[in-house]
Structure 1
Amino acid sequence: MPRVSEQHLAARRRQIVDAARRCFLREGFHRTTMQDVIAEAGLSVGAVYRYFPSKADLIRAIAEEAVGGAEAVLGELARREPPVPLLEALDSALAYVDSQAGDDGLLRIAIQVWGEAQRDPALGEFVAGKYARVRGHFEILVRRAQRTGEVPADADPEAVAAALFALVPGWFLQRILTGGPDRETYLAGVRTLLSLSPPPPVPPTRG
Structure 2
Amino acid sequence: MPRVSEAHLAARRQQILDAAARCFVRNGFHQTSMQDVIKEAGLSVGAFYRYFKSKNELITAIAGEKITAVTGVLDGLLLLDPMPSVPEILERLLELIDDAAVEDGTIRIAVQVWGEAVHDPEVGALVAEIYGRVRDRAVRTAERAQETGQIPPDADPAGIGAAFFGLVQGYILQRILLGNVDRQLYMNGVRALIG
TM interval, shorter chain, is: over 0.9
- Counterpart code for 2:41: A
Q: TM-score, normalised by structure 1?
A: 0.88
Question: 1:125-160 CA distances to partner (integer Å, 9 max, x unpaired)?
Answer: 111111111111111111111111111000111111
CA distance in 2 between counterparts of 1:67 and 1:165 reads 13
CA distance in 1 between counterparts of 2:15 and 2:38 reads 10
**Change beyond 3 A, Cα 1:103–1:86:** closer
1:103 CA displacement: 7.1
Residue equivalent to 1:123: 123
CA distance in 2 between counterparts of 1:116 and 1:67 reads 17
CA distance in 2 between counterparts of 1:162 and 1:124 reads 18
CA distance in 2 between counterparts of 1:107 and 1:122 reads 21
Any unmatched runs of 5+ in structure 1?
Answer: 196-207
**Change beyond 3 A, Cα 1:43–1:127:** same
What stretches of structure 1 move > 3 A for 4+ residues in a row? none
Over the matched positions of the two proteins, sequence identity in percent amounts to 55
CA distance in 2 between counterparts of 1:68 and 1:123 reads 17
- Counterpart code for 2:63: A
> Is contact 2:25-2:105 (8 Å) kept?
no
- The 5-angstrom pairing of residues 41-190 of structure 1 reads 41-102=41-102, 104-190=104-190
- Counterpart code for 1:134: V
Q: TM-score, normalised by structure 2?
A: 0.93
Give aligned pairs, total: 195
Any unmatched runs of 5+ in structure 2?
Answer: none
